[in-house]
Structure 1
Amino acid sequence: MSFENIKISIPNTSYSNYTIYHILITIDTKSYTLYKRYSDFYNLKIELENLYSIQIPYKFPQKSLFNTEKLIEYRRLSLENWLNEIINDKFDLKWKKSLQFKEFLNLKPTIFSSIEESNREKLDTVWQLTLDNNDTTLSQWDQLLKESQIDLNESKSLIYKSLDQSKKKLIIGRNKYNQLNKNLAKFNQLSNEQLKLRESLLSSLNKEIITIENLQSIDNKDLIKQSTRKIGSSIETSKTEKLNNQQLLQLQRQTFNQQDQDLKELNQIIIKQKELGISINNELIQQNELLNQLNEEVDHTDNKLHYANKRTDKFI
């Protein structure tokens, strides 16, 4: 599906303790509406910039302590332009191709992507299940868990063979994990032990996803080149040229073991960084709430002053 088929607008807003922006998304002949706060847009912006370690080049409305009608209208137009600039940019594609942006607008994970039609159908099917499947039984949940584990195992085994195929398998497995995580809470018939067991399985699944993502982020070309001895070729290094095949195999095992250890340490560092990022995000959300409360109090005080000035004018 090409991006020309997508139209995005924010035709209006509503207010319920805070301003809600109504995002109208039209894809071909189908339309749907999403409801987002300004903080949702801001959190998406920060998440994307952290993902690519660069600022988004499109103009984004700044935060403000005051929430006037003029400011709301300015934000509505600015946020609408911001989304359309991301969608319509034909040169810098990474923003709209990111899963975070697609999930924000509830778009299919295969949109803006050039992948095989068979894989596109599989991904879209899993994505649709995460949205519509509210009738998942416990047995179906357990079966989906097994399928997700298989997908992740296949993704891990493909890292050194075909990185693209490995990433596609990871997306399928991760989407199934998201569906599992979403549907677990509705099984009220589970005992505490059964619930904790499945929560533990989901936690292990999430750790495996993080591990695979870390492995996929490493350039494996040098590793493959150094671990392959071709008959009749002269690609030996000074360290391996005097070793026989058995000694070379032992060296490779030692190298892989060391790399596994390094990856485990790297994984721990990334997990800590992720926890720190989540803490910072939670703090930002709390600060946004405080800003909204302060804004409401300022409006309330302004109304009181306006009323007091009117009463004062009567005595002058």
Structure 2
Amino acid sequence: MGSNPHPWHQLVPWILQPIRPPPPRICGSPGGPPITGPRIKLRDGRHLAYKEHGVSKELARYKVVLVHGFGSSRHEAEIATAEAVQELGIYFVSFDRPGYGESDPDPKRSFRSLALDIEELADQLELRSKFYVIGFSMGGQVVWGCLKYISHRVAGAALVCPVINYWWPGFPSNLSTEAYYQQLPQDQWALRVAHYTPWLTYWWNTQKLFPSSSVISGRPKLSRRDLEIISKLADRQSQTEYVTQQGEFESFHRDMIVGFGKVEFDPMDLKNPFADAEGSVHLWHGDEDGLVPVVLQRYIAEKLPWIRYHEIPNAGHLLVLDNKEAILKELFTV
């Protein structure tokens, strides 16, 4: 009579699961994805892919840098399709954040480096001394970095459902803990790994024993309105392939490490960059956002009264698709 294998045999594949991510497939390198659009060369030799939308730069009254969210790219600039774009005379430039799409990965990526990338993009495209920034979700979190490191270049900013870091010290511990446990259990674990053991982030999100990040696995906690919006969108599989074509580590996983890892600065320590009232900062959030708890955005708005806070009832994480006109018109009204 045969015996069942010892349980440790079942653990061997898990133990041997690679911890180090594979090297990225750099665009334009032998065997790497092709380069299909314009790119600039940055100060450190990396390339940043970008896309222009709206009215021409020469005719524009307002020039805006768009910062895409998690799992998105320069191609998904939904706000640039708003009817108000032509009426207001808005020029947009979106770009693939490092490691996404056709922008080279940045193993030293940080909030500061992302802000400097945006500043350099604006300079090379000659967007004047000041420009607007709009960021969505994880891109909204990046906008905090712009307000920290290049506020002298920002004419105005909109953070749309910006991702927060539960470890920002400005949050009362009871509030951040309450919000943290509103997340799906699998996301609580994924965030713990990204924060406390970032070197295990790739392993955690590719191993098969435990559920990984719900966003990466395509099963996030969404509101009813978000599900309605997604049901009307075209198939986005090809877009996902473009987003991660250089590898999931330098796109998705690096996002988690930067966004939820070591705290580089606390947004609640920021000073009003528009004390002269020549610009404004707006924060938009839905009260049914299942990915970013609204209680934390309310607290930020309370701590930073110079932020114009817009809470949309019955809206989820994709509220930009229902509020494009309002977001733009509020941003350009000082």
TM-score when scaled to structure 1? 0.28
Greater RCO (Cα-Cα under 8 Å, separation 6 or more)? 2
Q: Flag the structure with higher helix content.
A: 1
TM-score when scaled to structure 2? 0.27
User: Which has the higher Rg, Structure 1 or Structure 2?
Assistant: 1
